[in-house]
Each structure stands twice: as structure tokens, then as C-alpha cells.
Amino acid sequence: MEWKDVYGGVIQGSVLGPTFFILFISDINDYIPEEAELEKFADDILSYLLGKSSSFLTEEIINGVNRWCKDNKMRLNPIKCKVIFTPVKDNLSPPKLQLDGNEIETVSSFNTSVLK
């Protein structure tokens, strides 16, 4: 076995890793509109809007989370980011949302560890 120097963070898979991350991201709510709900678990974040919400608010959430990440020397992976759009009226199309110039995929469902 070879020892490696660790300059920051916690070892992946450690028991305290998820708890430390929750403490680390405790101020992320300050970066998003108050109309949005934000759920956090380990390194997953789930944000949602209920009721009549605009694509502008959704963009504000994406930009806010992205700004928090940049302020804290982290990066979002656009491939892992997803949007679920469930309109009340069938004739509405999902908005085209982007993260740093990459379109965020719209899906009908996904698996998450945030909501059980």
C-alpha cells in the first residue's frame, strides 16, 4: 500500500464525508430564488419549483447553484444535470436550459438519492 498526501477534502466513501459536505453547502440556499425548494443529500442537490414557474426562475436556480460552485472552487457536470418539466397544459414545451453553454437534458424521470 502506498500513502498519498491529501491537501483538502475528505476521502471518498468515508463515514463523515456526506456530513461534511452538507455542512460545506449549507449556504447554497443564499444563491437561489426563495421560491425554489432545495433538497441536499451527500453530493446530490435537487431543486424544484411548484405551481406556476417560469423558465426565468429555473435559469436563476441553475445560475445560482453554478455561481455557488464557482465561488467554492467546484464545477457542475452538465452531463449529470437534468431537468424534468411537467406542465399543467399538454401544449407547453420544456424550456431550453443551459449550464456554461451546454444544454441541460430534459428527462421524464431519473434516479436520485435525495428523495426516497
List residues bridging with 107 in a β-sheet. 84
**pLDDT above 90: residue 68:** yes
Integer Cα distance of 4 and 14 in angstroms? 16
pLDDT score at 53: 66
- Looking at per-residue pLDDT, the higher value among 88 and 60 belongs to 60
Q: pLDDT band at 94, cuts 50/70/90? A: confident
Nearest to 102 by CA among 83, 84, 74: 83
Tens digit of each residue's pLDDT (9 = 90 or more) over 33-45 = 988 888 887 678 8
pLDDT score at 67: 96
Q: What is the average pLDDT score of the chain?
A: 83
